A and B are shown apart, each in its own frame.
Chain A
Amino acid sequence: MRDFTSYVRRHLQRSSLPDDDARARRYDDIVEELASELEARYTSRLQRGESEEDAWNAAIAQIPSWPALAHDLQLAGRELSQEDNRTSFRRWRRLNPFIADRWTRDLRLGFRVLWKDRGFTAAAIVTLAICLGGHAAILSAVNATLFHPLRVPEPERIFLMANQYPRMESQRVGLVSATPDYEDRRQHVAALEDQAMYNFSDGTIESAGIPTRVRGIVGTPSLLRLLRARPAYGRLFIETEGIIGNDQTIVLTDGLWRELYGSDPAVVGQSLRLSGRDLTIVGVLEPGFSFGGPDVRFYIPFAFTDRQRSDEARHTNGWYSIGRLRSGATIEQARAQLSALDAANLDRPPAMKPLLQNAGYFTSIEPLQDVVVRDVRGPLRLLWGAALVVLVIGMTNVAGLVIARSRTRLSELGTRLALGASRTDLLRQLVVEGMIVAWAAMCGGVLLAYWLLSSFRASFLAGREAPHLDLLTVAITAAAAALAGALIGSTAALPLVTSTPGALLQRGRRTDTRGRASRATRRSLVVVQMACAFVLLVGAGLLWASLRNLLAVDTGFKVDGVITAAMSLPNHRYTTADDTRGFVNRSLETIRGLPGVAAAGATTIVPMGGNYQSGIIVAEGYIPKPGEPAVSSIRIGVTPGFFEAVGTPLVTGRYFDERDNDPGSTSIIIDERLAHRFWPGGDPIGRRMFRPENPRQLLTIDANTRWLTVVGVVGATKLRGPATEEVTTGTFYLPYAATAPRDFGYVIRSHAGTATVIGELRPALASLDREAPVFDVRTLEERTALSLMSRTSTMRIAVLFAVVAVFLSSVGLYGTLSYLVAQRRREFGVRLAIGSTPRLIVRLVLREGLVLAVAGVLIGAMASVAIRSLVSTQLYGIAASDPRVLAVTAVSLAAVALLASLLPAQRATRVDVMKILNAE
């Protein structure tokens, strides 16, 4: 008998076997078993009559390569030790996601798999990129505009104070204060460490020989300090520059400095001519500083006149009053100090007391940030919501794609699992695939967002800092993309975790009927998508209907063929009202002489410009009810020709005429609403009214009272644009000549096309005075559109989102139906074989699609009604749950759904009956 034990021992070294295997059998055991195996074969050959030599050779041929055997044993042992020794370094390394070689291999494989399945990959990436991009663009706008509206340090500590008269109808939300309030609040509101008062101020600067209008801010010297602005060159204002005579200074923004002086640091100390005043440049602000919007290019000091400091100026509100909260102080403290101040000032001057009490006067204080974003908050939130909904639709769409794809994927995964790949390997592979898609989608999304922002920023957020794609948005987009990637990966991997390899292979088979769960999932995904799309479509429809309503609003103007322009006369050359009147009369004559001009007038307020002034007006003999606040209406000064130019209809009496060019004219024209207020049912013509210049005059009528006589009643107008809230007490018109301010506007009606008149307007006015540049020349139609621009762009973006949503959800429906049809091919084959007609099959599939769509529409309708309060503030003349909009949306969505179902339905009829039946 040969000695197999020593033979094996000789060839299999102890050191070549796994040594780190706690449970591995001892070397001796292995040797013994191998020897026994060899010997069994040797013995059986001997028994069959072979020679000892042959039997020996055959036995030892069983192990042709000892090193290979040792290697195999090592492999087996290693596998064992991995599963056994959970804390070992090897296991850690296996699971550690940062091991480069493993990941590069997974990535390579991932790219290969995705490339092989290009249709899926492209669909998933494009869908996600569109949704992520749209969301990122809106998020950037939200982040810049809503979350960081003030680009100054510690913006949350800056508060706006304003005088409020809640019971006076025209003054619903005041934003402004009067000049005497500044000193008062500085002395008495200790919770604020610094305060400032400012307003916007346009000026004319000669740039490269051309006079141009530039927007700036006139503010108390404290303003820039309060805003924590820092000069790049020179200095900020000092307190003494707030005294008349010392205020001939200017601080430039970085932008204006670059434009005018080509970044020359030596400008400090130089002189700059602004609207005819020579100002000394004392400083240039750091780049990146911005306050009051991107248009603001310079700051000049605000020096109060004696009148502005006096009690007479109280409640002539026209200035923004802000303060920075002292550290450690609270807004409640500031509010308490303000109301104490209000109480103390109630009788300054004494005559004001009943008036202020009746008006419900108080001083409000709120974060400046909130005030700044007030008008865009609603639309931006709405659009953000829409973007999120689209994102959800996109994700569900991709999830649907993944489920459809996992059908084919399951077989592959099952096979690989069966053939020895570990679940972690496969899981990791799927996650890597998801991440590749997510990464590509993120890149696409960021690019799309960048493009969207650069094309929409101009229109949507006019007058605000343009939103840029910020880091936070990119980070959130990346996170959302990663989430989507994980979702894709885990959706694909779910069956791996819950099923055995055999079941996977079974489920992967197309003819199998056990995919019920995934079919239900896909159906509910489609319903969710349809519901989301419905909500967005309803929202977009409502916004569209609102805009249509607004465009149809009668503003009281005939906008066709009307040109408007603004003018600001330099105050050093037009020092008296006579100077201004003279220029206005001359310029109107010139304009009326232009070919194509039918009528022209000047006005203190250009219609649809968003601005308005208001003032208290009293009718002779009108006795207010006890506690009734004074009537405050919109006040405009207009020249003869104004009404003819803008087309405001005359109800009774007359328009202003030549007589009213006399500064002593006592004519007043009121609109229907005001007429109704004071003389309901009566004729106002010839009745007397007066405008108190201070509160004392309001209460005491005497020989000094300057009576105005109503000469005409005109139709009501919406001076600020169709979307603005009605000022219920109406409007009164005074002759422009009475006050003749240097800033005014022209309104010109043309019957020969607006373009020719616009072309002639500038040179004609320049010929009168080249230092008086006309600016902001627009047709009234343009102004109306501008006043609605934020709504228009909100609507457009909402429609865009809705279209994307409808498209994605119909693609989702199409995909789902295709999937269901593919799964039920056998059933359709059988149906056809037993006498069903293609028409019935089509109907079957269409019904399936329609059922899903209708379910989505119903849920969407409920959701729309539930969230109607979110959208209602953005609507005009339409209820948020308007049945017509709901119905139209429902019908059109159902139609789209039917269309999306048509193709899969037809495909269902094209099954080869014989083939299907044979396969049974």
Chain B
Amino acid sequence: MSQVPEEHSLKKGTAELLVLAQLEDEARHGYDIALRIEQRSSGAVSFNVASLYPILYRLEAQGAISGWWVERAGQRRRRFYKLTAAGRKKLLQQRQVWSAFMAAVQRAAGLEYA
């Protein structure tokens, strides 16, 4: 059995949260998700296809998101994703975890107040 190392799970957890968050209000395709993350983080966080796609794949397998093909005239067909009910719950949970965690890190690191 492979054990997911800590850094990996941190990154994995972050990435899932980021992806889920982009799907909160509307359905998007992969490139759109990547773009929004990059824009909203002012370029600090970016995903390429190689890192984004396995996340989508896993989230869909978990049932947190569901995808479907959309065909538009003159365009190659694209796969859109939206949050499922389970995904919405997961997003909520992860938000709580992360805000608590970040608050803890901030306090612990003396970032919040002296």
Contact = CB atoms under 8 A, between A and B. Distances in A.
Contact of A40 (B9, B31, B54): B31
Interface residues of B, number: 38
Contact of B13 (A63, A72, A420, A502): A420
Contact of A502 (B9, B61, B97): B97
Contacts of B58: 76, 79-80
Contacts of B95: 502
A644 interface: no
16 contacts: A33-B30, A34-B53, A36-B76, A36-B77, A40-B76, A44-B31, A61-B48, A63-B48, A65-B50, A77-B61, A83-B62, A105-B3, A414-B97, A418-B93, A505-B97, A505-B100
A500 B100 CA distance: 12
A68 interface: yes
A414 B104 CA distance: 12
B96 interface: yes
A93 interface: yes
B4 to A, nearest CB: 6
A564 B51 CA distance: 96
Contacts of A411: 104
Given A63-B50, A502-B97, 6 more contacts: A30-B57, A33-B79, A37-B49, A63-B48, A75-B54, A414-B100
A419 B54 contact: no
A849 to B, nearest CB: 31
B50 A69 contact: yes
A501 B76 contact: no
A39 interface: yes
Contacts of B1: 90, 93-94, 101-102
B94 interface: yes
B49 A509 contact: no
Contacts of B79: 33, 36
Nearest 4 pairs of A and B residues by beta carbon: A502-B96, A505-B100, A418-B97, A76-B58
Contacts of B6: 419
Contacts of A482: none
A64 interface: yes
A801 B78 CA distance: 76
A41 B46 CA distance: 14
A420 B54 contact: no
A415 interface: yes
A414 B98 CA distance: 10
A500 B1 CA distance: 26
Contacts of A36: 29, 76-79
Interface string B62-104: 1000000000000011110000000000000111111011001
Nearest to A39: B76
A516 interface: no
Contacts, number: 119
Given A61-B48, A64-B48, A505-B100, A37 B53 contact: yes
A406 B13 CA distance: 24
Interface string A500-521: 1111011001000000000000
Interface in B1-47: 1-4, 6, 9-10, 12-13, 29-31
Contact of A505 (B30, B49, B96): B96
A73 interface: yes
A421 interface: yes
Contacts of A102: 1
Contact of B61 (A80, A421, A500, A506): A80
A62 B31 CA distance: 11
A24 B61 contact: yes
B53 A69 contact: yes
Contacts of A68: 50
A23 interface: yes
Nearest to A90: B1
A918 interface: yes
A502 B93 CA distance: 6
Interface in A14-63: 21, 23-24, 30, 32-41, 44, 61-63
A94 B79 CA distance: 34
A69 B58 CA distance: 13
Nearest to B97: A418
Given A24-B61, A419-B10, A505 B53 contact: no
Given A40-B78, A65-B50, A419-B9, A500 B31 contact: no
B66 to A, nearest CB: 12
A899 B77 CA distance: 77
A68 B4 CA distance: 15
Contact of B54 (A35, A61, A73): A73
